[in-house]
Structure 1
Amino acid sequence: MLQRAEKVQSTPTKPPREHEKMPGIRVFLYFGLVAVLPVLCYPHTPCTLTQKTAICNNLQLSSVPSNLPQQIEELFLNQNIISKLQNGCLSSYPFLRTLSCANCYLKAVDVQVFSRSHWIETLNFASNELHNDYKLLSQALGLLTNLRFLDFSANGLTEDMVSELLHNLTSLEFLDLSRNALLRLDEYTFQDLHQLKELNLERNNLFEIDGAFDKLKKLRRLNLAFNSLPCLVKFDMTQLVVLNASHNLIEWFITNQDITDTFELETLDLTDNRLLYFPFLPTYNRIKTLLLPNNHIGFYSHLSQNTSLNWTNTIEFYNLGGNASNVTAELWNDDLYGDISSVEFLDLSVNQVRYFPQGFLQKMPHLYWLRMRSNCLESLNLTGDYLPVTVYELDVSNNRLTELHAHSSSVSELNNLTHLNLSLNNIQKLPPRLFTTLPRLSFVDLSYNTVGMCHPKELPNLNSSACALWTPLPSLKQLHIAGCNLINIPPSAFDGTQLTHLDLSHNPDLHFSQDCLSGLSGTLQHLGLSNTGLQDFNFSPFRQLKSLNISKNSISELPASLMTLNLKLLDLRDNRLPTIKPEHATVLAKRVQIVYMNGNYFNCCQLEWYRTFEESKILHVADLLEITCVDLHQQRKKAGVFDSVLCGGKSREESIFWYILLFLSVGVSMVGVSVIYFLTFRPRLLPRVIKKKCWKPTTY
């Protein structure tokens, strides 16, 4: 519409003659014609038209609309009920480049449906039922000589169907076959896709891919995730940049060691498999991201030193045809991991690594992220001789560490280390000044270890101690020392730091005074004091506090100092609060955004605060429906459905129950008085009235 208007406006016109200069008349007719033309050209349609795109999604259409502009290049028909694309349904749109019919219950496509749509580049048929009549569809696709993007995901296709559908699609660059019924692939499946760059085979039932990708010389990204592949042996795709083989049953990943060319592989994802050994990577590669979590990886050279065990040193691989492969490996040689010099991100979380081979980490001079969560590490040296000096994040949480080893001279070389997670170990000793010698340390999680806090003025001059010093450390922003069996916090323990996050939770015997945290009053934003035996504390100095967790304590009255803060999150669960003062509830309802309240001993007859929180448009009580209270009979009730009338006091709104009970009592009393009156003063009148109303003569 706009293009047509611009075209008319840009048409050159001659200067008007004198008799044509009638003010407003020609101008009005000109713009009136422009406004009417689009209506004549484009009839009413329920689709949304934007430039050269027609969006007709979710309109309950049973066929392709025929009244759309002829110039459209993109047509989206997703989530309709088009069971068949018939010949001629696209003939009105010769410039079409993108057609999307995802989730349309599509079962068939006529052979000549694309006869006038030679420009189509993108075709999306995801989530349909094209396995029903795939042979006709194969013939129809043969007319699309410019097709580059094809999505056949979730169509119930088998490998034989796919082979026929992809026949002669030589221009295809991106192909999605995820969520189908593929079992095995061979060298003929993709033999014509010489231009293919990206292939998605996720969530099929693949257990064999023998030679399927040999002819895909331009393939850069391959997704094999969520299948049933048992191994990847003799991997030789040198051109591949990204390989995702996660969530399979892979026990071995071995590249073809005879290839001397450099592999272009940058990302290798083998997450959630059954790998027993570190993958045998190419001799020359460019791998930057190596993802290996949730496997059974370990290093085993220590086993070969035990001569009493009759271990085999090599292994042969067999394919499903029963022919032996010539791939062998020395199982106990820890040096068979190939080239790891370019690795920047290594994730070995949830494996069985007890140690690293000598010099293993030093062979990764560009390593920035090392994640070793949930392994079996028994020792760790935080030195530049053991770790690459480039390490930015180190996560060794949930291992078997009992002691950290470090030397001040070599620790200072780790000047890039910023995030350090040591939680869930059994660390009992470490160099007390370890953390203060790391110049860029910003995040430390030492939770659930047995490490105390050293007094800055009483620090023992030892190489190993049961406490750690946290001052001065100006780079530190987040410190988590929950569950460390802390007894006390020394005065000025955090002076010289600028902590924004401090978690002291789950230290039930912790004793600390007001001045222990005084150095953090200007920076602290998130404070965790859950299960610390807290009863009362003055929070008013911490003006920057945004999140406060004081759950699982013995707080019987909400600290008044909280009313001075602009908290965003407040956790009050599992305390001993009987109620919240109305004035405090009003303040919290206007300032706090999220609050947790359940697990207290709230009085059911003092729930004014509950109504205030419930009606607030700012405050969100995350566990509002779970909050309980104790009634007059010491029984737990849901606070949201408790009727305050049962408290015996005046409810917030007058209940009609009392009026009904009053009138009922008066009515019963009047009836009783009337009966007594008749029985006493009119004893004959009452039987006569009853006889008149109830006794009727009976005919025999």
Structure 2
Amino acid sequence: MAIVSLWILLGCMYLILPCCKNAIEGQHFSQSGCKLSYRIADCSHFQLTSVPKDLPNDIEELVLVFNNIKRITRPSLSLYPDLKSLSLQFNGLELIESDTFQGTKGLESLSLQDNSISTDYIQASEAFRFIPSLKKLDLSRNGLNMNMVTALLRNLKSLEYLSLDNNMIMRLEDSVFAGLHELKQLSLQRNYIYEIETGTFDHLVKLKTLNLAFNSLPCIVDFSLTQLQTLNLSFNQLEWFQSMENDVEFQLELLDISHNMLLFFPLLPRLHHIHKLLLSENRMRFYADLFDAISSTVDFLIIENNSTNISSINLWEEEKITSNISTIQYLDMSHNHFTYLPDGFIEKMTSLIELKLDWNCLETFSISHLENASSLAELDLSYNKISELKINNHSQSFLGLRYFNVSRNDLQMLPRHIFSGMNGLRTLDLSHNRLKLCCSQVGAVGVHGNDCVDIRHLTALKNLYLSGCGMVLDAQCNFYGTTLTHLDLSDNHIQSLSSLQDTSRTLLFLSLRNSLPSNLSDVFSTYQNLRYLDLSENNLTNFPRSLTGLTLKFLDLRKNNLTFLPLYDRYENLLKTLNVVYLSKNPFDCCELSWLDVLRKSGSINIPDLLHVTCNFSHHFMSAQDLPLDVLHSCQWKTGGTLLYLLLTLPICVTFLVALLLVILTFKDLFLQALKRCCRRSTGY
């Protein structure tokens, strides 16, 4: 009886627990299936054709995303007078009747993204008259043009956030946003805007964020939005950006003009608060080295409102950057055409923390540019044509640098002690330059006098990338005094792993791709903290057995000459920790794939290139994952061992013995007579 009572109690608990959970979370469901929680009704993805009528009357937020509601009427919303937020994205909505919102005048947020409001925008405009407290409106992807937008916004005086992304707007007139004095954020990205009339944004006195990305604007002249804090002009066709030349203070903090066609560094306001300036993917460069002072003036012809103006700019004087740029903390000028930086350009950026100059045409770079940029922490000069990196022996500008990337250049040498003052340097990338490391050991390959770069005793250095430098490493002192955790030595010439012994205690990541001799005799047993190891493209013929005791998580063995992996019980520790292993492009033996089964059955080991792992059988390469049955049978005979050979030879031996016995029995009389004749001898009397 007690057991029966216990089972009944457990059953009741099983039924009650979900109800308790929903009660705790404040969740339950309406008859139409909508999820209800704390005055919020979520009716998404129900293929509804109208607004549900069975919801609580006091709901404040109604989500109707991804349904088939084609029209909204007053009766459909009048049941919910407390509604503050309504989401109707992705419904194909075509009609909003003029009196729809008469019963929901407290609506503050309305999302109509991805509908067809343009079908009858006049009635929608009339409907908006009844929601005077609306603060947030999303009209993205509705096929709207400028005239439609003007009509829709006519009665929305309280708007603070407006999104008009992905519409058909081609130009903006000065009346389109008239009356939106409370607007703080405006997004117009992914339209076809090629012209903005003067004064279009003058009514938006509280506007802080303006997004005009992915349009067709050709230039910005006399930029005057002093109250703006964030301006996104990326992915346009801008060739020129010029702000008003006055002493008015601009509140601008972030300016994005990336992915345009800028020919010159933008002419920024004299007074501003810009801390992030994005200028990547343009055509900018400085031109003073190509012209003299007489030919430095350029005239810009500006045609506006049937009037013509000529603006003369002395470009080379502008290279001195008369505006205040001391506030800039992040400057991205990557993917441009800079061949040099004018004197005083970087020195004025006294707050600069990160500078990106990668993917340009720089041939030299002088550290003297950074003497006053004491706060600089990250510098990226990769993918240039730098053949010389100049340094002032008295410069202290690099002391705060934490990240320095000069990879993919034409450097043949660096000042030997260029990094000696970089006490905080954590990441250094010298990849794909023809450089040599210094070493004080007598007779070591790393010794090259002043023709080498010294990275020893950089105690803060954690990440070092030296791939593709063509280095020959066999000395043990190149990394002395460092505590590296990430080391990339791929595409070099490492004669012996003993040259890396100074890093063995701290390394977590080690890449030796295309760097080792084919027969690796060195051991990895001292690299007890190693978690990532890349041994690909080394023509290794034997799996390094010294990996047995390591706790690797990632192992790359691609493009070697391995025929077999000895992964048995002795590798139990390695198999427990290994998460990812790459194996493709090795000539594995199809009849020696038991190790592959061990890896696949482990459960925790992922082989991303398993479909590309092949094996060799009679000089034919085939997928190691799905071997044909005839190959499997052949391998079974081939790998059967002594017992299999015994089973094969025993029937033959038995047959031979039986045949021999039959012959003897058949011809025994003849054999006996012949034997007697052979053995008969004469006897003396």
TM class by shorter chain equals 0.7 to 0.9
- Provide the rounded CA distance (Å) in 2 between the counterparts of 1:464 and 1:92: 86
Contact 2:550 2:573 in 1 (8 A): no
State whether structure 2 residue 437 is matched by structure 1 residue 453: yes
**Structure 2 match to 1:432:** 416
Contact 1:88 1:112 in 2 (8 A): no
- Provide the rounded CA distance (Å) in 2 between the counterparts of 1:427 and 1:386: 22
State whether structure 2 residue 504 is matched by structure 1 residue 521: yes
Gaps of 5+ in 1: 1-34, 653-700
**Structure 2 match to 1:325:** 309
Q: C-alpha deviations, 1:588-612, integer Å up to 9, x for none?
A: 5432111111111122222223333
**Structure 2 match to 1:417:** 401
- Classify 1:383/1:567 alpha carbon distance in 2 versus 1 (closer, same or farther; 3 Å): farther
1:240-279 residue pairs with structure 2 within 5 A? 240-257=228-245, 259-279=246-266
- Provide the rounded CA distance (Å) in 1 between the counterparts of 2:345 and 2:283: 18
Tell me the secondary structure at the aligned position of residue 316 of structure 2.
Answer: coil
Q: C-alpha deviations, 1:341-385, integer Å up to 9, x for none?
A: 111111100111111111111111110101000111122223476
Give the counterpart of 1:511 among 486, 489, 494.
Answer: 494
Give the counterpart of 2:579 among 585, 588, 593.
Answer: 593
State whether structure 2 residue 83 is matched by structure 1 residue 96: yes
State whether structure 2 residue 180 is matched by structure 1 residue 196: no
**Structure 1 match to 2:642:** none
**Structure 2 match to 1:532:** 515
Give the AA of the match of 2:257: L
Q: C-alpha deviations, 1:267-304, integer Å up to 9, x for none?
A: 00011100000000001111110000010111111222
Tell me the secondary structure at the aligned position of residue 110 of structure 2.
Answer: strand
- Provide the rounded CA distance (Å) in 2 between the counterparts of 1:416 and 1:487: 31
State whether structure 2 residue 467 is matched by structure 1 residue 485: no
Give the counterpart of 1:607 among 566, 577, 593.
Answer: 593
TM-score normalised by L of structure 2: 0.85
Contact 1:104 1:127 in 2 (8 A): yes
Give the AA of the match of 1:200: S
**Structure 2 match to 1:121:** 108
TM-score normalised by L of structure 1: 0.83
Give the counterpart of 1:227 among 184, 193, 215.
Answer: 215
- Classify 1:155/1:343 alpha carbon distance in 2 versus 1 (closer, same or farther; 3 Å): same
Q: C-alpha deviations, 1:534-574, integer Å up to 9, x for none?
A: 44231111111111111110111211122211111111111
- Provide the rounded CA distance (Å) in 2 between the counterparts of 1:256 and 1:326: 15
The structural deviation recorded for 1:208 is 0.8
- Provide the rounded CA distance (Å) in 1 between the counterparts of 2:567 and 2:224: 72
- Provide the rounded CA distance (Å) in 1 between the counterparts of 2:459 and 2:325: 35
The structural deviation recorded for 1:499 is 0.3
The structural deviation recorded for 1:391 is 0.6
- Provide the rounded CA distance (Å) in 1 between the counterparts of 2:190 and 2:38: 37
**Structure 2 match to 1:209:** 196
Tell me the secondary structure at the aligned position of residue 502 of structure 1.
Answer: strand
**Structure 1 match to 2:351:** 366
Give the AA of the match of 1:465: N
- After superposing the two structures, state which structure 1 stretch, 138-147 or 385-394, moved more: 385-394
The structural deviation recorded for 1:586 is 6.3
Aligned positions, number: 606
Contact 1:432 1:463 in 2 (8 A): no
- Provide the rounded CA distance (Å) in 1 between the counterparts of 2:503 and 2:277: 39
1:611-690 residue pairs with structure 2 within 5 A? 611-632=597-618, 634-643=619-628, 645-647=630-632, 648-650=634-636
State whether structure 2 residue 154 is matched by structure 1 residue 164: no
- Provide the rounded CA distance (Å) in 2 between the counterparts of 1:160 and 1:614: 63
State whether structure 2 residue 378 is matched by structure 1 residue 393: yes
**Structure 2 match to 1:691:** none
State whether structure 2 residue 461 is matched by structure 1 residue 476: yes
- After superposing the two structures, state which structure 1 stretch, 359-368 or 587-596, moved more: 587-596
Q: C-alpha deviations, 1:35-80, integer Å up to 9, x for none?
A: 99xx9x9853411111111111111111111111111101111011
- Provide the rounded CA distance (Å) in 2 between the counterparts of 1:372 and 1:321: 39
The structural deviation recorded for 1:463 is 13
State whether structure 2 residue 538 is matched by structure 1 residue 553: yes
Contact 2:476 2:502 in 1 (8 A): no
Contact 1:138 1:166 in 2 (8 A): yes
- Provide the rounded CA distance (Å) in 1 between the counterparts of 2:297 and 2:575: 70
Contact 2:438 2:448 in 1 (8 A): no
The structural deviation recorded for 1:421 is 0.2
- Provide the rounded CA distance (Å) in 2 between the counterparts of 1:149 and 1:131: 19
- Provide the rounded CA distance (Å) in 1 between the counterparts of 2:29 and 2:342: 72
- Classify 1:312/1:427 alpha carbon distance in 2 versus 1 (closer, same or farther; 3 Å): closer
1:124-139 residue pairs with structure 2 within 5 A? 124-139=111-126
Tell me the secondary structure at the aligned position of residue 137 of structure 2.
Answer: strand
Give the AA of the match of 1:472: H
Q: C-alpha deviations, 1:223-243, integer Å up to 9, x for none?
A: 011111111111110000000
- Classify 1:312/1:356 alpha carbon distance in 2 versus 1 (closer, same or farther; 3 Å): closer
- After superposing the two structures, state which structure 1 stretch, 60-69 or 323-332, moved more: 323-332
Contact 1:431 1:464 in 2 (8 A): no
The structural deviation recorded for 1:210 is 1.5
The structural deviation recorded for 1:627 is 1.7
- Classify 1:336/1:591 alpha carbon distance in 2 versus 1 (closer, same or farther; 3 Å): closer
Contact 1:644 1:651 in 2 (8 A): no
- Provide the rounded CA distance (Å) in 1 between the counterparts of 2:606 and 2:133: 54
- Provide the rounded CA distance (Å) in 2 between the counterparts of 1:122 and 1:388: 46
- After superposing the two structures, state which structure 1 stretch, 280-289 or 312-321, moved more: 312-321
**Structure 2 match to 1:57:** 44
State whether structure 2 residue 351 is matched by structure 1 residue 351: no
- Provide the rounded CA distance (Å) in 2 between the counterparts of 1:618 and 1:583: 16
The structural deviation recorded for 1:246 is 0.3
Give the counterpart of 2:526 among 534, 541, 545.
Answer: 541
- Provide the rounded CA distance (Å) in 2 between the counterparts of 1:254 and 1:406: 34
- Provide the rounded CA distance (Å) in 1 between the counterparts of 2:233 and 2:52: 42
Contact 1:605 1:644 in 2 (8 A): no
**Structure 2 match to 1:669:** none
Tell me the secondary structure at the aligned position of residue 150 of structure 1.
Answer: strand
Contact 1:471 1:495 in 2 (8 A): yes
The structural deviation recorded for 1:386 is 4.2
1:289-328 residue pairs with structure 2 within 5 A? 289-305=276-292, 311=295, 313-319=297-303, 323-328=307-312
- Classify 1:157/1:616 alpha carbon distance in 2 versus 1 (closer, same or farther; 3 Å): farther
The structural deviation recorded for 1:338 is 2.4
Residue identity (%): 36
- After superposing the two structures, state which structure 1 stretch, 600-609 or 395-404, moved more: 600-609
The structural deviation recorded for 1:322 is 5.5
The structural deviation recorded for 1:312 is 6.7
